[in-house]
């Protein structure tokens, strides 16, 4: 789901938890999307954001750490936010009791935040002894409906007013518009024959917030059956804050400035062919497409980011495995249907960035990698459905792979021999 839609959901009252926009509002949004982009002029506030961002730093694990730019005196503007956070938690508990399936999903959401180091629990002494400004952000969940299943998305409502009537978002500078207009991204890709798309995994949560500002991102949480409410600090850019789009895209820009000299071919696409966390790449040939794909992953990894959900019509970029089930009925009627399919990005180089150029690793034949993927998929499905191995058949149209799998003689390359042995072990 796009950031625009999620942003609209955040503006709804947390008690609604559903997206129910009027036709007039949807027509307005359509009109805004269809409009040609206006000339962007930098306002004094935007320069303030840039000045604050220029003092960012990078941790030892290459991830960026920065401060948001604030509009006025936070202490006087925000005042008490904890009662509103408690009220939102009570409301969340009530909803969980009405919809039990939310309980497990929400606990997993919170635990993932902790496990990945994107937030930390603070003790009672830390809660009371903080001398700086503090803001508690209410949170709740919405269901994102996908093609196969719904997924719970946690939403942080930084627009909820505190006791003074001001919210955290009232205090934060939004920054200049760095987002590329969607139709301009689409127009650019029409120049090329080969295109692939990927998104940046947890883009906001890879970027850390300076330790001096994490108390502006406190939350309270407890499962409904627990009486003790726990306090946490969110340690990364938080969706729902007005500055989040600017800060995340500004970090991507800075990554291109800092590391782009080592990956010049992909800098242009990262700067121009992106929409929120989705990035397109284009090329005139398969070879260029493969090269750009690797350059993209190297550059993102250099900033601590990961790419995922690769989409392309160019099969040279992917390994594909397909499993069919063939059923013979008592009246000798044969029915064959697609049971499962899986694709995997064709990995050519190590994803670990390096200051100096590394020698190219041995490239395994794509057909051999696809054969391993298909073997693992077939074995997994057969085990889950209790299908005897004698009723399973692995097919491959690559003669060299069939020759290797049918032979016990080593090929002479340790990596290739390991793959062959692994496949033989799975399918026998």
Query: Half-sphere exposure of 245 toward its Cβ, with a 13 Å CA cutoff?
Result: 19
Alpha-carbon gap, residue 96 to 91, rounded angstroms: 9
The reported pLDDT for the residue numbered 199 is 86
Does pLDDT of 357 surpass 80?
Answer: no
pTM tops 0.85, yes or no = no
Of 69, 38, 33, residue with least CA distance to 51:
69
Does pLDDT of 235 surpass 80?
Answer: yes
Tens of pLDDT, residue by residue over 163-221, are 888 899 998 999 988 887 776 777 677 677 777 788 899 999 999 999 999 999 999 99
Alpha-carbon gap, residue 421 to 403, rounded angstroms: 13
Tens of pLDDT, residue by residue over 25-57, are 666 665 555 555 555 666 778 888 999 999 999
Q: Is 256 exposed, middle or buried (0-12, 13-18, 19+ CB in 10 A)?
A: buried
Tokens 């001096």 correspond to 212
The reported pLDDT for the residue numbered 140 is 92
Pick the more confident residue, 61 or 185: 61
- Ordered by start, the domain boundaries in the chain are 3-19+42-177+207-256, 315-427
Token pair belonging to 247: 């800060």
Q: Is 326 exposed, middle or buried (0-12, 13-18, 19+ CB in 10 A)?
A: exposed
Tokens 């500004």 correspond to 250
Of 296, 278, 250, residue with least CA distance to 67:
250
Does pLDDT of 12 surpass 80?
Answer: no
- Can you tell me whether residue 44 is helix, strand or coil? helix
- Can you tell me whether residue 177 is helix, strand or coil? coil
Please answer whether residues 39 and 123 qualify as being in contact, where contact means their C-beta atoms are separated by less than 8 angstroms: no
User: Residue 284's CB: how many other CB atoms inside 10 A?
Assistant: 11
User: Residue 221's CB: how many other CB atoms inside 10 A?
Assistant: 20
The reported pLDDT for the residue numbered 317 is 64
Token pair belonging to 199: 């998104």
CA angle 351, 353, 355 (to 5 degrees): 155
Worst-scoring range by mean pLDDT, 13-17, 114-118, 264-268? Answer: 13-17
Of 297, 415, 400, residue with least CA distance to 347:
297
Alpha-carbon gap, residue 72 to 77, rounded angstroms: 7
Tens of pLDDT, residue by residue over 327-347, are 888 888 888 888 888 877 665
147-169 burial, b if ≥16 CB within 10 A, otherwise e? eeeeebbbbbbbbbebeeebbbb
Q: Is 287 exposed, middle or buried (0-12, 13-18, 19+ CB in 10 A)?
A: exposed
Of 251, 262, 256, residue with least CA distance to 354:
262
Alpha-carbon gap, residue 159 to 423, rounded angstroms: 54
Across-strand partners of 136? Answer: 218
């Amino acid at each position: 789901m796009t950031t625009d839609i999620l942003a609209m959901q955040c503006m709804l009252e947390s008690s609604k938890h559903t997206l129910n926009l009027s036709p007039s509002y949807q027509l307005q949004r359509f009109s805004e999307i269809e409009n040609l982009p206006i000339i962007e002029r930098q306002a004094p506030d935007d320069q303030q954001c840039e000045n604050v961002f220029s003092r960012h730093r990078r941790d030892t694990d290459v991830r960026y750490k920065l401060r948001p730019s604030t509009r006025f005196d936070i202490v006087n503007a925000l005042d008490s936010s904890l009662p509103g956070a408690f009220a939102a938690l009570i409301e969340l508990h009530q909803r969980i009791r009405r919809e039990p399936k939310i309980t497990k999903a929400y606990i997993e959401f919170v635990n993932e935040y902790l496990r990945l180091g994107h937030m930390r629990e603070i003790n009672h002494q830390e809660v009371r002894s903080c001398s700086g400004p503090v803001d508690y952000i209410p949170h709740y969940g919405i269901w994102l409906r996908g093609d196969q299943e719904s997924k719970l998305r946690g939403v942080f409502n930084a627009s909820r007013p505190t006791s003074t009537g001001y919210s955290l978002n009232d205090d934060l500078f939004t920054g200049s518009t760095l987002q590329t207009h969607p139709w301009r991204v689409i127009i650019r890709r029409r120049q090329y024959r080969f295109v692939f798309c990927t998104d940046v995994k947890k883009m906001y949560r890879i970027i850390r917030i300076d330790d001096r500002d994490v108390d502006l991102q406190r939350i309270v949480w407890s499962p409904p059956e627990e009486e003790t409410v726990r306090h946490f600090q969110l340690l990364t850019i938080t969706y729902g804050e007005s500055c989040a789009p600017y800060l995340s895209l500004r970090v991507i820009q800075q990554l291109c400035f800092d590391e782009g000299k080592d990956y010049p071919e992909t800098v242009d696409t990262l700067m121009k062919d992106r929409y929120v966390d989705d990035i397109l790449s284009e090329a005139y040939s398969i070879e260029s497409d493969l090269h750009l794909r690797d350059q993209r992953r190297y550059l993102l990894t250099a900033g601590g980011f990961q790419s995922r959900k690769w989409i392309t019509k160019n099969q040279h970029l992917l390994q594909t495995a397909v499993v069919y089930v063939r059923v013979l009925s008592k009246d000798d009627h044969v029915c064959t249907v697609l049971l499962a399919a899986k694709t995997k990005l064709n990995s050519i180089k190590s994803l670990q960035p390096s200051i100096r150029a590394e020698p190219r690793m041995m490239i395994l034949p794509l057909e051999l990698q696809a054969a391993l993927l298909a073997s693992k998929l077939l074995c997994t499905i057969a085990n889950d459905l209790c299908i005897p191995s004698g009723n399973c058949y692995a097919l491959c149209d690559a003669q060299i792979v069939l020759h290797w799998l049918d032979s016990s003689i080593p090929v002479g390359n340790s990596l290739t021999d390991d793959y062959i042995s692994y496949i033989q072990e799975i399918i026998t």
